[in-house]
Chain A
Amino acid sequence: MESLSNKKKVLEQKPLSFMERMYLPAIAKGMGITISHLFKKEATIRYPEVEREFSANFRGMHSLKRDENGKERCTACGLCALSCPAEAITMIAAERKNDEKHLYREEKYAATYEINMLRCIFCGLCEEACPKEAIYLDGPIVPADYLRKDFIYGKDKLVEAPLEMKK
């Protein structure tokens, strides 16, 4: 029956011709191809020294943002932890004291904020969930480490540097 798509190809199994049975022409052709690759540019990037350029929407390490006055934006509402499919985020909330007004934007803040980088799948749902624009996955690649406990990143690693330090 004729095929409707007209894409069907009937394979014929022909016995090898003498030249094909000699292998040599095919081998010479193959060796030519491999030697040509000797002179091509290699695709390797020497990672620690050279870094690949990422696209604008690359999701790397998290950072907890500050507002224009250098106050932490996070209010410890817990929406990021709730939205996290890998359950990588935990936090403990605390109430802002009067003398801490220059540190935190709202009356409530995160006393501890931990992300387990081994659990995180870098999906970016936390930054979508955040109502205060406090968390973004705009950092570099999370570096390797030796111990599991060292992959639990606290506020010391996550919070953005203060404004004066940035300058």
Chain B
Amino acid sequence: MIDLLRSWLDERYQLNSFLEWARHKTVPVHRWTVFYYTGGVCLFLFLVQIATGILLLMYYRVGAESSYESVRFITSQVEYGWLMRSVHSWSANLLILFVLVHMLSIYFMRAYRSPRELSWVSGCFLLGIMMAFGFSGYLLPWNELAYFATKVGTDIVGQLPIVGGWLLKLVRGGEEVTGATLSRFFGLHVAILPAAASGLIGLHLLFVQVQGMSHGEDAKKHMPFFPNFVLRDLTLWLVVLNVICVLAVFFPWELGLKADALKSAPAGIKPEWYFLSQYQLLKVLPAKILFIPGELWGIGMFSAVGALALLLPFWEPRLPKSGRERLLTILGAGGLAAAAALTLWGHLS
């Protein structure tokens, strides 16, 4: 029966040529091979997000008068609703963590170099999309923390010269963070970002398949992609799923208090860990530096770091060859240490 189906598909779609290609695909084996699995984990976590996101959509009702109530209903009345929400939140956090680990491994392995520039660029855009997912999804429960995080996050956009005011209204759907903002963020979170992410992930995977994995030419050993690498990948996915479930059961995501536009920001308010370094920088910058508002310096610094990272494969080859490797390692390690120190400082202060 299976053979019949296979030959039927092969007649129409040349299935055998694809299977032949998959049979010959190999993965280089060297001391950093373990980092190849981080990309697969990102894909798995994205699939978990899609699955749990669709399930949450069955009960979630967007609106200033219904969002908080519907999330409370999901977590307190719907069977396993608390599990779905916590799995969604934990896997979102792990997804950003794994995307960062994946990108750092690519950086330190110099796997972004020619001919893989576009794999790196598409990966940078995917990190941006994942952070936008995190930011827009954070507002959807319409709780106190989400409300102020969105007020601050969108106000940063409003600080931009010339287009700031216009962009602020575009993002918020008005001058203030209201139900209109919630509707926009919901649309962004469940329609625009998933479509953009799916397209870009497809493109990213296509680049990897066409060009093969980095360091393939230097590696002395290779392993077959199927079944050796795929089975290892799937085992790791199972481990990650278990970790998420353990986190969701023992550290369920809190809902907090409902957003109130007439209540002061509560003491101890902080953003998610992946925005903590930017938050801490905005907190310590003085009101004005050389007549320019401190937050504009902050925005300028984030933008400069983002642009440098995005264009890394294009400026890095122009560096003088002598001492380049050492300089890149120092830059990477220094940037990572600075971000980690700011994050820790933001967490403790």
A binds B: no
Show the binding face of B for A, using Cβ within 8 Å: none
